[in-house]
A = this chain, B = another copy of it.
């Protein structure tokens, strides 16, 4: 049967993929010599190395990753799990993770959870199955149960979290200081003479949104502004949430004079409602968002926001992984890298 197959191959002129064995045959060497030559093993003569590489080129040889990964027990693949791909923040993080890891010979497998916990579990399952050497992830909003992530830790491969998931697991984390970012926003709004600042918040079960809320509260206290619970509303932070909540705020007996939304999409929804009601932004009500989505710069008025330093976060997350993989023995305490975010003041909060 084999002979027949080979005959077919010959007749049809299909080149079967060449292996080190083929190279060995051509040169009258053993496969192991070829393997060593290709890997620049010191015990192989330069003459042989050159000859092997030449033949490899001619035969269009491509090493079989599966075989070497199996033997070496290392796939050089890193899994990345992100909630969704349509935000600028994540695509920028990805780009930078990829850049750093590619340089070190790793490839990344990107998977999206679409903010679904179930999808996230599936993703972990299939990444582990693919034998990735590590996982870099940002948790879905929905994710509360962390059993699956424990599974990764149990496997003994590095797990790095970024943006979402701080403290939730005892693993490396890279993110901005959400508490401080909120503080910066309030400080700025106060400097613009705002006195009643509402907060369109994210759900407080997610640590980052919780931190933004407490940063908001503490900053208000610091500036001796009263905390009014009706001015703090949690939501999913989509455009429609921003709209709904802004409408509610406008219907209050005493309207706020500033709105801090914990996400840019919610800020956009709020802005739409404000414009529809002919409310002057920023003079009647000032507005600040969060994330520096591209559209914040080109809507009218442009929206002040927090830049989360996605490039840096991507780079640091990748480096954290490399660190772990290179020193697996060193059970250092978990590494929490907090990057300083930047407040970008635009028209929506810049009063004359």
Please name all residues of chain B whose beta carbon is closer than 8 Å to the beta carbon of A86 when the two chains form the complex: 88, 91-92, 294
| Per-residue interface assignment for chain A, residues 85 to 109, with 1 indicating a CB less than 8 Å from any chain B CB and 0 otherwise | 1101001101100100010000111
Residues B95 and A62 in contact, CB atoms below 8 Å apart: no
Residues A63 and B298 in contact, CB atoms below 8 Å apart: no
Please name all residues of chain B whose beta carbon is closer than 8 Å to the beta carbon of A77 when the two chains form the complex: 130
Residues A66 and B299 in contact, CB atoms below 8 Å apart: no
Residues A298 and B299 in contact, CB atoms below 8 Å apart: yes
| Per-residue interface assignment for chain A, residues 285 to 314, with 1 indicating a CB less than 8 Å from any chain B CB and 0 otherwise | 000000000110011100000000000000
| 11 residue pairs from A and B, CB less than 8 Å apart | A60-B154, A64-B131, A85-B94, A86-B92, A98-B111, A109-B110, A275-B300, A295-B295, A295-B298, A295-B299, A299-B299
CA distance A77 to B155 in the complex (A): 22
Which residues of A are interface residues toward B (Cβ below 8 A)? Answer: 14-15, 17, 60, 62-67, 69-70, 75, 77, 84-86, 88, 91-92, 94-95, 98, 102, 107-112, 114, 122, 126, 128-131, 154-156, 239, 268, 272, 275, 294-295, 298-300
Please name all residues of chain B whose beta carbon is closer than 8 Å to the beta carbon of A114 when the two chains form the complex: 95
Residues B129 and A65 in contact, CB atoms below 8 Å apart: yes
Please name all residues of chain B whose beta carbon is closer than 8 Å to the beta carbon of A102 when the two chains form the complex: 122, 126
- Which B-chain residue is minimally distant from A293 (CB atoms)? B295
- Which B-chain residue is minimally distant from A122 (CB atoms)? B102
Most buried by B among A92, A131, A268, A299: A131
CA distance A156 to B1 in the complex (A): 22
CA distance A197 to B110 in the complex (A): 42
From B92, B94, B268, B294, contact of A298 by CB (8 A): B268
Residues B112 and A109 in contact, CB atoms below 8 Å apart: no
A240 shortest CB reach to chain B, Å: 11
- Which B-chain residue is minimally distant from A295 (CB atoms)? B295
Please name all residues of chain B whose beta carbon is closer than 8 Å to the beta carbon of A112 when the two chains form the complex: 94-95, 98
- Which B-chain residue is minimally distant from A107 (CB atoms)? B126
Residues B66 and A131 in contact, CB atoms below 8 Å apart: yes
CA distance A85 to B314 in the complex (A): 15
Residues A66 and B70 in contact, CB atoms below 8 Å apart: yes
